Structure 1
């Protein structure tokens, strides 16, 4: 599924194991030091023995030799201690290097096995591979971006969601097979059951969003203490995702925080949620299709440019309280349902070239920033233009309150 790459921000290199240098550069000076100590101590103790009687000279010489030998032994012990310290350090570094190599081999084996499982035709095996990658990423921060890339690559694989009647037909086939005491043969594509593959993809999406979610909701028993949400200890920081062309089912990125996100040409099946998400880098939705409602309420786009060009909003699009800090492009975007931009900020200079709005009917509500103006085209459709006003909202259609997403 991909090469095993590590994040450049995180290094797992072992402690540097310096090569052993030659012993002669310090062994010879040490021997000279011991000899000098012996000679110096002996000469100092024997310098005044000429005036001492013979018996006392002999005793003094013996004592001087003992003292010199003791001094030499002390120097020798110090050298021995240095050798022991050097040997101990070498053993510790060698052990650390060995342990690092063993860890690297284990991580590589786990990664390779999990990646191979994603290629299985059996849905339980693919699920096991996803969970193995999740655990490996949680335990190895340096591999998180690589594993996220692998999961995103899996979601970018071609996939056609089954229609509901196919699911009902599978159920009826299973019932008929049970009555006939023979195994059912569900609809498959490429050797994979479409409904099982949908569950695998939902799991892959959940793994991504669960670790990109920056904060969890407050625990119920602590609501009386604080309304502030708790930090998510499972959050993976500084992650970017590439889901270009992916088919995403019930995609939920609420309260997530990530660097960059690419959703170009992606298909969002069923409602999608981005409320409260924070994007610190560039975000691309160019060419994406939202087949149902989508929510961006209170989302924050900090990157230099946010692309919503050529996007199709087939149903409601909620941007209430959304903040855009950089350039925003809605070129050739189509709004086929309701749209709510009440409280959205940073849209005064948005690019609106070629925006298309379906004709307004009573049940369709659209609230635009007052810096935008809807104009009717000759074919009955509408388009958007920028105005000089930079605050407030303008409303077209029926009631002025967005419908909540299911």
Structure 2
């Protein structure tokens, strides 16, 4: 081995030993971790330890590179030091200075990297502090708004409504909490409704309506309107983007209840709701998560539910329909079911003409009546579409009911009857009936109406 190579290896070992000794004296616990791991920013002498660590890494890399190159060249034998001339010594001096400059660059990079880490840490701490201060400010605003809502003065409560709505606009993470507080206030029905209290409740509904009329506000949030009394409710043109909208045991009064062009992204729950307005209009509504009308009552003079876009099941279970006119025409059903079960219609005109807006086929998209009684009704089933329609009547009774069918010849049978009884002269054209698999499930023949 040449003399210069021997002295180079000795220098590398000496520098590594010096780095270990200095590192032990400055921070003894650093010996149990990797040199590449960044030392604690708060530790004394951590910058010196970091610089020495990177220097040792640079020396090891340089020594390994040099040894690998010499091994690749077959460990050539170089002349002794006394043979070098002045030019060769100057070249060696330049190489040595370049090596020293390289180590200086390593030191500079280590220091700059250290400063960058410190700057990033300070930035993260500043961001965390700002977030904590923002959350604290939001909590203070929430507490103030809640106190205002509980105030005796209607003017102060009205201020709390606007404050809470503004907080819901700003505080995305707790927007649902703000909405729950507003809906909870509506559910607390006072014994005596004063003009001031009426104004506060109208302001809440107005705030909700303003923020559901577009596509960028309050998305997504759930609403719970359980047990609330609405007079002349207007939810038309709104978009409910949450998982569920609850109107259980709610009461709708006045001249008009409107859900026209309303979009329900999640489930609409109307268990025990009472639609008592003179006119209830739910036209061109969009049900993406389904709807449940369970034990609901539809009173008044007119119920209009035309133009629905049902993409999930819509169920009317054990509902009451003391209303004279029901319009369910132009339904668009896509791989879903609109089902009426355990209901009774009497002295009513029902329009279920689909008017060509049928989507899907067979069992995937159908209009179903199960255990339904039609007494002295007019049942309109006129169609303008040549495609297959699937309508099911199962365990139903049609007594003195006029079934209106279009005069054109049907392209295929589309009315399914299972255990259906016809009374009082009720007739259904045979050409539109799908033949049952067994005679036991065939529609029973019509019987005359009993004499008064």
Range of TM-score over shorter length:
0.5 to 0.7
Cα deviation, 1:330-380, whole Å, max 9, x if unaligned, reads: 4141324543333345597623424365x57xxxxx333267773059xxx
Computed over aligned residues only, the root mean square deviation of the Cα atoms, in angstroms, reads 4.0
Superposed counterparts of 1:39-118, under 5 Å: 49-52=81-84, 66-118=97-149
Identify unmatched segments of 5+ residues in structure 1.
Answer: 1-18, 161-188, 214-231, 361-365, 378-383, 393-406
Aligned CA distance change for structure 1 residues 21 and 313 (closer, same or farther; 3 Å): farther
What is the count of residue pairs matched by the alignment?
Answer: 311
CA distance in 1, matches of 2:51, 2:79: 30
Q: TM-score, normalised by structure 1?
A: 0.64
Say if 1:68 and 1:264 are closer, same or farther in 2 by CA, change over 3 A: closer
Residue 120 of structure 1 pairs with residue 168 of structure 2: no
CA distance in 1, matches of 2:222, 2:175: 10
**C-alpha displacement at 1:329, in angstroms?**
1.5
Are 1:32 and 2:56 an aligned pair? yes
- Confirm or deny: 8 A CA contact 1:279 1:301 kept in the other structure: yes
Partner residue in 2 for 1:250:
232
Distance 1:312 1:367, change over 3 A: closer
Partner residue of 2:363? Answer: none
Q: CA deviation at 1:263?
A: 0.8
CA contact (8 A) 1:273 1:294 kept: yes
Q: After TM superposition, give the deviation of residue 240 of structure 1 in Å.
A: 2.1
Match of 2:251 among 267, 270, 280: 267
Q: TM-score, normalised by structure 2?
A: 0.58
1:204 aligns with 2:204: yes
- Given that 1:202 and 1:249 are in contact with CA atoms closer than 8 Å, whether structure 2 keeps it comes out as no
The answer as to whether partners of 2:293 and 2:319 remain within 8 angstroms in 1 is no
Is 1:368 aligned with 2:351?
yes
Query: How many angstroms apart in 2 are the aligned matches of 1:91 and 1:158?
Result: 51
Matched residue, 1:15: none
Looking at structure 1, the residues matched to 332 and 102 of structure 2 have their Cα atoms a distance apart, in angstroms, of 82
Change (3 A) 1:153 1:390: farther
Query: Which segments of 5 or more consecutive residues in structure 2 lack a partner in the other structure?
Result: 1-36, 41-45, 71-77, 354-366, 378-394, 407-452
Change (3 A) 1:339 1:90: same
State the 1:156 CA deviation.
Answer: 0.7
Say whether the 8 Å CA contact 2:51–2:111 is kept in structure 1. Answer: no
Alignment of 1:142-291 (within 5 A): 142-159=173-190, 189=192, 194-213=194-213, 232=214, 234-258=216-240, 259=242, 260-270=244-254, 271-291=256-276
Residue in 2 that maps onto 1:320: 306
CA shift in 2, pair 1:273/1:304, >3 Å: closer
**CA distance in structure 1 between the aligned counterparts of 2:103 and 2:323, rounded to whole angstroms:** 95
